[in-house]
Amino acid sequence: MARFIIRRILQMVGVVFILSLLVFLWLRSLPGGTVSAILGERATPATRAALSQAFGLDQPVWVQYLKFLQRAAQGEFGVSTGVLPGTDAFDVFLSRLPATVELSVAALVIAVVLAIPLGYVSAKRANSPLDSGLVIVSLIGVAVPVFFLAFLLKYQLSVEHHLFPVSGRQDNLGCTRVTNFFVLDGLLTRELDCSASALKHLVLPSVALATIPFAVIYRITRASVLEVLGEDYVRTAESKGLTARVVRGRHVMRNALLPVVTTIGLQTGGLLAGAVLTERVFGFGGIGDALAVAFERRDYAVLQVLILAAAGIYVIINLLVDISYAVIDPRVRTR
């Protein structure tokens, strides 16, 4: 097990390293750049040259890359020029991460809590009207683009009916920040109105973001449970006179959940992509929001950190999925 994990971690480092080179080269091959983003109409060739030199952007790309690696080895990822000028890019990432995690976790909880029970019920009553209805709902969930749904929810429930806030993460209540997880911070500092406000702001974006993972997890659960229900050992368990609860828990779900766990893991990675769009619609100041601003303003340092961090998170989630496999299914360990 340990060897398996170490090998995977080494692979991970390799992937992120190669990606860092690709991202670095790609960003610098884009037309425009940090300097014109900062200077705008005021740019003269002289001011442009002076600023490029100050930022070290006038040197050959490979020199810039080597310097970047050298700094990265010391844990320095450069300084933001556009998102939060003067702030260390990694700190920008850390300060924006909680928003995205809060949103993704909320969406994932909504998706999983609804999808697994509904998937099980669907499989138990396959081809009943309830089952068909749920399948259609899940199809719609996959088909509708996230940002379209986000926009629709926002327009109907916030703009037209004022049920929820239009955008942002919290009302301006002067809340104390501890971890930047707003819901948690409110609990920590006993500013419960802050938590409530944060939750209220979370509802629409997380519902919008939950639709796709919900649909996918539901379908996989349904298919997987259907398959397991037909297995001999389930029939054996039932005929032994075990209670329905034990059969469901120990025999059906434990086996049926394997592919579901994989799917949840993969969907978590996909959530990041969806979060970028959702955050944009709801002005939810997380990673997605920072990515968009960083791209507009050609904030190289922040873009590099965000893209690499996103890749890193994706790879780590994959690793966790594999490990959880090993935990759930002993056969994996011996391979």
Task: Considering the complex, state which of residue 98 and residue 213 has its C-beta at the smaller distance from other proteins.
Answer: 98
State how far Cα 162 lies from the chain centre.
28
| 3-class secondary-structure state, position 282 | helix
Task: Considering the complex, state which of residue 100 and residue 141 has its C-beta at the smaller distance from other proteins.
Answer: 100
Is residue 65 within 8 A of residue 27, CB to CB? The reply is no
**Least distance in angstroms from the C-beta of 199 to other proteins:** 14
**Least distance in angstroms from the C-beta of 190 to other proteins:** 5
Task: Considering the complex, state which of residue 141 and residue 216 has its C-beta at the smaller distance from other proteins.
Answer: 216
Residue 177: left (phi > 0), alpha (psi -120 to 50), or beta? beta
Task: Considering the complex, state which of residue 25 and residue 178 has its C-beta at the smaller distance from other proteins.
Answer: 178
**Least distance in angstroms from the C-beta of 172 to other proteins:** 5
The DSSP symbol for 42 reads: G
**Least distance in angstroms from the C-beta of 230 to other proteins:** 21
Rounded distance, CA 252 to CA 135, Å? 21
Amino acid at 12: M
| Residue 295 Cα distances to 22, 103, 299, 321, angstroms | 16, 22, 6, 31
Measured in degrees and rounded to the nearest 5, phi and psi for residue 284 equal -90, 105
Task: Considering the complex, state which of residue 318 and residue 324 has its C-beta at the smaller distance from other proteins.
Answer: 324
**Least distance in angstroms from the C-beta of 67 to other proteins:** 8
Task: Considering the complex, state which of residue 85 and residue 133 has its C-beta at the smaller distance from other proteins.
Answer: 85
Q: Which residues contact 170 (CB under 8 A, 6 or more apart)?
A: 182, 194, 197, 198, 201
Q: Residue 236: how many CA atoms within 13 Å on its side-chain side?
A: 6
Task: Considering the complex, state which of residue 56 and residue 133 has its C-beta at the smaller distance from other proteins.
Answer: 56
Rounded distance, CA 198 to CA 172, Å? 11
What is the C-alpha R_g of the chain?
24
Q: What is the DSSP string of 171-202?
A: -SS-PPPSSS-HHHHHHHTT-HHHHHHHHHHH
**Least distance in angstroms from the C-beta of 116 to other proteins:** 9
Rounded distance, CA 311 to CA 317, Å? 10
**Least distance in angstroms from the C-beta of 132 to other proteins:** 27
